[in-house]
Amino acid sequence: MDKSVENMFGTDIVLTSRIRIARNLENMPFPHKMTNEQTRKLINEVASSIIDSNSAIAHTFDLIKLKDINQLERLSLVEKHLISMDLFKNYDKTAVLLNSDRTVSIMINEEDHIRLQVIYPGLKIKEAYEYASRLDDLIEEKITYAFDSKLGYLTSCPTNIGTGLRASVMLHLPALTITKNINNILNTVTQVGITIRGIYGEGSNAMGNIYQISNQVTLGLSEEDIINNLLAVVNKIILQEKRTRGIMLEKQGMELEDDIYRSLGVLKYARVLSASECLNLLSKVRMGIEMGIIKDIDINKINELIVKVQPATLQIIEGRELDSRTRDITRAKIVRKSIS
Amino acid sequence: MLCQSCNQKEANVHITKIINGVKTELHLCEDCAKQKNEFNFSSPFSFGSDLSFQNILDGFVEVMGGSKPQYFEEEKCSVCGTTFEDFRRTGFVGCGNCYKEFNKNIVPLIRRIHGNIHHTGKLPRRAAGLLKLKRRINNLKEELKMAVNNEEYEKAAKIRDEIKELEAKIKDQETRG
Ligand SMILES: [Zn+2]
Ligand SMILES: [Zn+2]
């Protein structure tokens, strides 16, 4: 099985915790102002700071230049959240360092020179930050960062200045979505400098009921405060999701159970599945497992499917490009094989 | 109530901002409010509800007046050639030096985005010693101001000595390279 998909997500409401740190080099224009020669040099310099270091983890990293892999492989990295759209779009001058268990990705020549990302399954945002910070120190042994004693780490967009830290937690919130309570939460958290957005799909129309909760403010707070604020909000949201599930179970338990099993039925027998239908059905089944209604399916199987049914990853598994109808048929086949 | 900024005119613009759960209230006269670019807040919560960079930037430009303010033409980073107009259009500066050259115009924007303009987080390791000293001095200067305001002159003198000592330390470190 694909190593990068196995155990990618947690087994409860929290799928992943992600830390992203933005850094730039001193005395070097930001990526959108760099010459091709400079982007090449920077890739080597950043890669060397990790790969040629004395650290025990040095040999676990691979450097992938985005121009050296094909379009599908690049898209699949986006679907797995290992690279950003920005890195994907500028593939002719960008690169990424990935570690062997795919928990760390260091993007080079993104919006900033370096975007260091650590993703852990489950609610481990503090651990993810600690590791990211250690890697940050390792890079800094060889590289001098652009830093201002007042404004902190300088970034190409002022929305990231200061700590350069974006901490996010990916949550599975089907009950809050079904009851539309998610809209209230959206309005409340933005007032405390936190944002929520759907992971798959456009705008607030979140496919698969999966949301990303992140800090908005990066300057004026310590990393610890940023993470603690985020955790406080995330814990409240988790509590509300659990409460809402409890109320649904109490008031409309049979309907809820019916909905969950119908979803499982469709996934088991459907012959054509679009990405959005599939993600929404997987979400219902995942909720069923989380609530103990479905007992004989391993949640990791569902986690794995959430990634596998994404268009580009699906085509890589099949080993060829597929038109959208063939994709929907293939998707149904993969799901059927996995959970029946 | 008098304007908190100039202490001269009547404060008739009242601004409430809530960022990270901290409520800040500002009472300003119309002139100072315009200067601080705080005037454009349509609601007390507008800060968090739509924090796209372009929105902040657009608001910023509106406050500065409908026609193109003249600094847009003049300001250009001497290192990377980015103009303030480029930045205004794209939301990106071209290099670290841009923050120095556009300081006057960019700092109010940063304050708008983050509600703050002072980094209190991690420091680069190699420069950390020096930066920590500088940060400590800045804090002491604040304390000094307060002590003087409260007429605690003995305390103020002590703080002043400590600042001097730290500044000497910095000089020493910098000359040693
Ligand atoms: Zn005034
Ligand atoms: Zn510049």
Tokens at A117, concatenated: 């990302």
% pLDDT > 70, chain A: 95
Q: Write the pLDDT tens digit of every residue in A86-135.
A: 899 899 999 999 999 999 999 999 999 999 999 998 999 999 999 999 99
Instruction: Tell me how far apart the alpha carbons of residues B50 and B45 are, in angstroms, rounded to a whole number.
Output: 9
The annotated binding site of A is made up of: 16-20, 81, 115, 166-170, 197-202
Q: What is the mean pLDDT of residues A196-208?
A: 66
Q: What is the pLDDT of residues B104-138, one digit of tens each?
A: 889 999 998 898 899 999 998 877 777 778 878 88
Nearest alpha carbon to residue A193 among A233, A142, A135: A233
Kindly give the residue spans of alpha helices, DSSP state H, lying in chain A: 36-51, 71-79, 85-89, 125-140, 174-178, 182-190, 223-269, 275-290, 299-308, 311-318, 324-339
Structure tokens given for A181: 């309570």
* One domain, residues A19 and A125: yes
- Whether residues A167 and A92 share a domain: the answer is yes
pLDDT band at A175 (very low <50, low <70, confident <90, very high): very high
Q: What is the mean pLDDT of residues A221-250?
A: 93
Nearest CA among B91, A118, A188 for reference residue A196: A188
Domain containing A20 — which CATH number? 3.30.590.10
Task: Based on the fold, state whether residues A143 and A291 are members of the same structural domain.
Answer: no
Query: Is residue B41 predicted with pLDDT exceeding 80?
Result: no
Indicate if A144 and A217 belong to the same structural domain: yes
Query: Between chains, do B96 and A150 touch, taking CB under 8 Å as contact?
Result: no
Q: pLDDT for B66-107, tens place per residue? A: 344 444 456 789 999 999 888 988 889 999 999 999 998 899
- Span B20-30, average pLDDT: 60
CB contact under 8 A, B53 and A157: yes
Q: Which residue positions of A form the known binding site for ATP?
A: 16-20, 81, 115, 166-170, 197-202
pLDDT surpasses 80 at A199 = no
Nearest to A297 by CA among A166, A305, A33: A305
pLDDT at B20: 40
Is A4 within a domain? no
Residue A236 lies inside a defined structural domain of this protein: yes
- Statement to judge: residues A91 and A198 lie in one domain: yes
In angstroms, the separation between the Cα of residue A196 and the nearest Cα of chain B is: 11
Q: What pLDDT band is residue B30 in, cutting at 50, 70 and 90?
A: confident
Q: Is residue A311 part of a domain?
A: yes
pLDDT in tens, A306-340: 888 988 888 888 888 889 899 999 999 999 999 98
> Is residue B131 within 8 angstroms of chain A, CB to CB?
yes
Share above pLDDT 90 across residues of chain A, in percent, rounded to a whole number? 68
Give the confidence band of A11 by pLDDT, cuts at 50, 70, 90. low
Q: A191 or A76: which carries more pLDDT confidence?
A: A76
Instruction: Name the minimum distance, in Å, from the CA of A195 to any CA of chain B.
Output: 9
Whether A7 is covered by a domain: the verdict is no
B60, pLDDT greater than 60:
no
In the predicted model, what is the mean pLDDT of chain A?
Answer: 90
A264 secondary structure, DSSP code: H
Count of structural domains within chain A: 2
Contact A147 B124 (CB under 8 A): yes
Q: In this structure, are A102 and A188 located in the same domain?
A: yes
Interface contact A217-B92, CB threshold 8 A: no
Q: Find residues 120-149 of chain A whose CB sits inside 8 Å of chain B.
A: 133, 136-137, 140-141, 144-149
**A181 shares its domain with A108:** yes
Residue B1 DSSP class: -
Which of these three, A240, A260, A275, is where a domain ends? Answer: A240
d(CA A182, CA A159): 25
Do A257 and A233 have their domain in common?
A: no
Question: pLDDT class for A195, splitting at 50, 70, 90?
Answer: confident
| A128 and A226 co-located in one domain | yes
Question: Which single residue is written with the structure tokens 């400098």?
Answer: A193
How many Å separate Cα B32 from the centre of its chain? 15
Q: Is residue A2 situated within a structural domain?
A: no
Ligand 2 geometric centre to CA of B99 (Å): 7
Report if residue A246 sits inside a domain.
no
Last residue in a domain, options A198, A218, A240? A240
CB contact under 8 A, B53 and A220: no
Asked whether A294 and A306 are in contact (CB, 8 A), the reply is no
Whether A231 and A256 share a structural domain: no
Q: Are residues A127 and A97 part of one domain?
A: yes
pLDDT of residue B38: 41
Is the pLDDT score of A19 beyond 60?
Answer: yes
Last residue of a domain, one of A209, A240, A271: A240
Give yes or no: residues A173 and A225 share one domain. yes
Nearest ligand to the C-alpha atom of residue A27? 2
Residue A92: inside a domain, yes or no? yes
Residue A67, domain member (yes or no):
yes
Q: How near does any CA of chain B get to the CA of A23, in Å?
A: 11
Rounded to two decimals, the ipTM of the complex is 0.83
> Does B64 score more than 50 pLDDT?
no
Given a contact cutoff of 8 angstroms between Cβ atoms, the answer to whether A339 and A266 are in contact is no
Query: Does B51 have pLDDT greater than 50?
Result: no
Chain A contact for B110, CB < 8 A? yes
Structural domain of residue A281, as residue ranges? 252-339
